[in-house]
Chains A and B, each alone.
Chain A
Amino acid sequence: MSAAALDSLATIEKSPGYWSGVMRRFRRDPVAMLALAIILGLVLMAIFAPWIAPNDPYRGQMLRRLRPMGTPGFPLGTDELGRDMLTRLIYGARLSLLMGVTPVIIAFFIGSAIGIAAGYVGGWLNTVLMRTVDVFFAFPSVLLAIALSGALGAGIFNGLLSLTIVFVPPIARIAESVTTAVRKIEYVEAARASGASSFTIVRVHVLGNVIGPIFVYATGLISVSLILASGLSFLGLGVKPPEPEWGLMLNTLRNAIYVQPWVAALPGAMIFITSISFNLLSDGLRSAMDLKA
């Protein structure tokens, strides 16, 4: 038997698991792959900003303020303080991605922990945890983010904290409902009957089944978080000048729309591209995992 035949035999014998099926479907989705490529590109751009960017993001010159796109040396023009737009857009990916993605990651862990605990233990713990979650869920998300960061004051840390608090309740709710559903399935009962401890059941049987749906749901929140995070900076909460951040750039360039309208609109286009990529990626994951809601 040739090596190739052996190889193909091996692949037949190995029964493909659920996740490899998901990955296969995901890889065949051209839209999701494009979105993933754009996101990876943005992340690389953020990491290697000092090497890619042609200029210093902080140094401006009053003599060359608000130059149009295509100015020699400044392909995307300059901002209201004469700083290179291209450079600031590249550097902007750092804070914008950090402020947008971090809250969802933290909220994913906290929200999952709350939801799984509430769903698995049930009883009074469920009541206490989920009623508290309901209170925060009762605020429209934008309002809650602005209320918290408005009260706490501007700053990167306060912005991150506010956004994390906004995203814990929706994730905890999903985690709770998925866990409650899984807990009722017979194999969990069988595991308990065979003497498995609660911790083992949660780790082996519950976690593996609930983490996928929660994860997909959380990825869907990233685009909301990006828009909200930049929105906070746009309002003057969140990141403070002179840091390059897309929402803040949009804010400081607002007065320039009568002079260089399209240069002023550039940072928003970056937010848009990033947020739509995360949405398309999340949609791709959802259909690859064949989840409905």
Chain B
Amino acid sequence: MSTTEIDRQWTTRLRRRAAGKLPPEKLLPDTQPTYVASWIYVFGVATLSSLIVVIATGCVLALRGPYWWHGSPYGHFVNSLHLWSVELFFFAMVVHLWGKFFMAAWRGGRSLTWMTGVVTFLASIGAGFTGYVAQTNFDSQWISTQAKDGINSGGVGAYFNPLDLGQMLMWHIVLLPIAAVVLTGLHVLLVRIKGVVPPFDESAEAAQ
């Protein structure tokens, strides 16, 4: 096999492109710019960490099916862990989002990083909602029967029925978690490729 033939391979091209965009020292950096020195930066990693705990506790709940936690003290405790990790996840994500807004973190070719973050936020809201309506208790009865009116009003209810437990559960444990994880992965990779947005250059602005 000739070198030219190897060079043309999709695999070779992809590897070279990936290595060029994201060399190991960028993917797993051991230094960071000194301006990355604020508590606000903690909320990005806190969001990611919460997502890991959300998925782990959700996997434990999934082991015994959707009704298990109602009749088992252990199951109820795992449900409590799942609930509070979700609350922490959203709290951290909202603070992270506001922080990035006030940094104008889309600057310097980072608009895709911002957009993947926003879509992850919206997908997570969907994941949270489907979780609430899949609880199989009074809350899920009330939330689903109330939410259906908003969803139906836009015609979405014809395809996304909050009163259908099976459909909501599938969205909650398969489709939306996959979306959230893939989007989060993409978001983190973009942060690693582009780096953390630098502060505004006030002297340059004053000069202009």
Chains A and B belong together in one complex: no
- Point out residues on A near B: beta carbons under 8 Å: none
